[in-house]
Structure 1
Amino acid sequence: MLSVTNLVKTYGKQNAVNDISFELQGGEVVGLLGPNGAGKSTTMKCIVGLLRKTSGEILIGGEDHLSVEAKRLFSYIPETPYVYDLLTVQEHMQFIAQAYGIKEWKDKARELLENYELDDKADKLGRDLSKGMRQKVSICCALLTDPKVLFFDEPMIGLDPKAIKNTKRIFRELKEAGKTILVSTHLIDSVESIADRIMILKDGNIVGNDTIANLKIQVAQEEGGTLEDLFLELTKDE
């Protein structure tokens, strides 16, 4: 569902993303990990078209990532959620439904708002929402379109424990439905229980891309070692 080939993003003479290639299949949840400045958000923003890549090829569902056909296939939830100040929560859902031409949307919107305990906030304006509520609205809007590919940039930041649990449950349901999910985060424990595979970035390079079990074997990690230990080993300075 997602193919990234020789992706490079340069700022001046510095490569923020350094010629990386990877693929994601349907029904796969992949965690994109890395320290601050590793290139996680830059990679994701290049994929969804918010940043112009310097070179390389990105295909979503076999279509160029900037094409209208590709954009119909995915949803993106940014690290800093943006909502419209003068639209209510319910109007956000209506706006997304109309933008994507979704006719039967009200029942699904109601279910999503209930899942994230926003049903009693449906008439609240965007400007009056806390950051956590904005994050929940952003997730609800992304899920309403029933995308085949979802990109989450730090999805758990700002969410309360119950919302985090609900989000993990929804991840599992999406995976079972054959959806493809790329989750960028530095909260390692938030992806360990849901990711089929981990990609670890360091200085714009992929230094690990495999299942957690296989990565532990590759770095000869001691039995009982955690994903955090693995992460620190792969990203340590030489």
Structure 2
Amino acid sequence: MWSWCMLQPMGFLWQRAEYCGDGCREGPCVLRNPTPSTPRPGNGVPIRNLVTQEFFNGIINQASSSCAGKIFYSRSAFLEALNFYPKFGTGGKSSEDTKREVAAFFARVTHETGHFCYIEEIVKATYCEQEATEWPCNSEKQYYGRGSIQITWNYNYGPAGQSIGFDGLNAPETVANDPVIAFRTAFWFWMNNVHSRIISRQGFASTIRAINGGECDGGNTPAVNARVGYYTKYCNQLGVSPGDDLYC
């Protein structure tokens, strides 16, 4: 699901531009939060009131009954993971910003997992960036996409695990074994790389550039169209306009 490209330095790590896009980073090293925080309403709109069981079912019910994710992902796991990220859906100027962030998040999740069908990436690879020396790869492990946002690369697994409280480098499979961790890694990546773009109203196109920049400017037009399609669909369901700058 992730594109290979030429290495270029970004900060103290080396990132693959087409994987991340402009401004992407692996995220800060933060202390593990041992207990969930109390989720705050997103600008007066509680997230759980937006992500209803009906909304969630509308996505996962489109996956085949044979899909592994069908019995793995759940709204309850999403909400439990959300408890650790009270700033998700907040910080914007209005409830519309909250709804757009929810729509953008689930547009990403829908596309990456095939409507919650896949727990792991279909085409697996090692995805070890040797230049990311702070997060050395375990030669017996692979850091391919796993979880609801398909977190990939050692320089994401390492800090995500440190933040959440699991060994991302030596046990990356944890993301595919624990549905709450599968959502928590998605939130971790989102809050470090995408959230600020939503609340500053940079448009949905900026979220694609942040995560899959290689798809932009003709890199993978069908994928961009699919992401925008999901986003506008969820915005309509949540009763908010998708805003401008949808396509990158």
Q: When the two structures are superposed, what TM-score results if normalisation uses the length of structure 1? A: 0.27
Larger strand proportion of the pair: 1
Q: When the two structures are superposed, what TM-score results if normalisation uses the length of structure 2? A: 0.27
- Which protein is bigger by CA-based radius of gyration? 1
